[in-house]
Chain A
């Protein structure tokens, strides 16, 4: 087995790091740490984008990296931290499924994701073929996190992390989306978070809590 070229290895390491971060988020109970992990995830994505940009020489990827850095590493975490302070939700309550069970389900998902990605891997011609499986896994793991948490806050972070996974997948399959699409997605995410932030305040005003199981009562009132 000949060793892969260095930047290839770095990309693989970044992919693995992303997966590691996804699992760390899955096993984290504290919302503050969750936001920090999300920021680190954004940083790894930015680093990956830079690496790919350097490798392929496509200039729009540099912009994309800068955008990621600004939005996902700086602005969104800042916003989320602010929200947490204002809403005073530092801890998530007991998750629906215990942490080990969630992690076990996560491992099953990883295996599934790689099985899923394998045929695509053969089609893709980029140097990051192996990472497609990880991208799919990151998306599914974020989904799993949204399912198993009760607090709206952690679900938003799950949603953002899912977007990270999609972004990473796009990059590993086709070296990123066209600039205009990326800008659009970034805007969407931004707006979504802002709207959700407004929602949080509304929810809390209504129920005195951000625990989403209170929403279950809505059905009965009708």
Chain B
């Protein structure tokens, strides 16, 4: 009994670590196709990370210990988060330690460390990035929390696997509030992962950056960890989305190794579709001016709140 649960837990984390850069590569490839460019290899993120690990780290003269620890903390947080999001299996021992609210808290921890590290060297772009990141975060985090809150109200628990099992298992119950939260979640996903309407992952124009601006002072292994963590964050968000809105195909209960191996292609399919959809959204929308970003996120937050309202109104007994 127990060993099986630990195996599925380890498998899940391993899949997340391995698949996250691939997912990022896939999104980039789709974007290139949609923009009628010749696409880079899907494996480019791996090569990039490997290259960075081999390089010598260059640190700013006045970088403190916090600056050196932060990449490890951010990466570690994302790995733990991957361990509590049901992507393949619903049987995750770690979920007892951290439910969905704690998951939002974990993302918050990563964000705070990232921003603090960005402020550490004391450059203009670093603090600018930190400020903007926190601005995005303080609206995106409650929006995500409200999305999860609605899902928790529907399924009467805050443990993510239980939520997704409930949503998948209910006898074709359509909860109208999920329409609202799905919109809100999509907006949050775009904002939190530095995707286009809010930030541009491909930009190198300093004044428009958010995420890149925070990483400017990082190099080599530290940068590699940060990049990997960013890929993991995107992967994690995608998996949260699957757990809430397309919860079918996650191995639940005692399905054994067969169920787990079956869950992998299903996850791959979902990721492929989600990545293409993400690329489509990014291609179709224009980047917002930074002053518009709060409006975008406030919309996300309010949609999530509306979802809550609609659930209480329509979904009540």
Q: Residues of A with Cβ closer than 8 Å to B?
A: 1, 3-4, 6, 9-10, 12-13, 15-17, 19-20, 23, 27, 98-100, 103-104, 106-107, 110-111, 114, 130, 133-134
Contacts and interface: CB of A to CB of B under 8 A. Distances in A.
Contacts of B299: 27, 99-100, 103
A35 B187 CA distance: 22
Nearest to B315: A12
B7 to A, nearest CB: 35
- Closest 3 interchain pairs by CB? A16-B176, A100-B298, A103-B302
B170 to A, nearest CB: 7
A20 B302 contact: no
Interface of B: 170-174, 176-177, 179-180, 183, 294-295, 298-299, 302-303, 305-306, 309-310, 313-314, 317
Given A99-B298, A100-B299, A20 B179 contact: yes
B177 A16 contact: yes
B176 A12 contact: yes
A110 B180 CA distance: 14
A3 B317 CA distance: 10
Given A99-B299, A103-B299, A110 B306 contact: yes
B176 A13 contact: yes
Given A3-B171, A13-B179, A100-B302, 13 more contacts: A3-B170, A4-B173, A9-B172, A9-B174, A12-B176, A12-B314, A13-B176, A16-B310, A17-B179, A20-B303, A20-B306, A103-B298, A114-B313
B313 A133 contact: yes
A99 B170 contact: no
A12 B295 CA distance: 29
Given A12-B314, A130-B314, A107 B177 contact: no
Contact of A1 (B177, B303, B313, B317): B317
18 contacts: A1-B317, A13-B174, A13-B176, A15-B176, A17-B176, A17-B179, A23-B302, A23-B303, A27-B299, A99-B295, A103-B299, A104-B302, A106-B302, A107-B302, A107-B305, A110-B306, A130-B313, A134-B313
Contacts of B309: 107, 110-111
Contacts of B313: 114, 130, 133-134
Contacts of A16: 176-177, 179-180, 310, 314
A99 B291 CA distance: 13
Contacts of A114: 313
Nearest to B313: A114
A117 B126 CA distance: 52
Nearest to A131: B314
Most chain B CB atoms below 10 A, which of A16, A103, A104, A110: A16
A100 B172 contact: no
A15 B173 contact: no
A179 to B, nearest CB: 29
Nearest to B302: A103
Contacts of B317: 1
Contacts of A106: 302
Nearest to B183: A20
Contacts of A12: 174, 176, 314
B138 to A, nearest CB: 14
Contacts of B314: 12, 15-16, 130
A103 B299 CA distance: 7
Nearest to B296: A99
B174 A100 contact: no
Contacts of A100: 294-295, 298-299, 302
Contacts of B303: 20, 23
Contacts of A104: 302
A3 B309 CA distance: 19
A110 B309 CA distance: 8
Contacts of B177: 16
A55 B313 CA distance: 23
Contacts of B310: 16, 19
Contacts of A4: 173
A12 B303 CA distance: 17
A98 B176 contact: no
A125 B87 CA distance: 44
A107 B294 CA distance: 18
Nearest to B299: A27
Contacts of A20: 179-180, 183, 303, 306
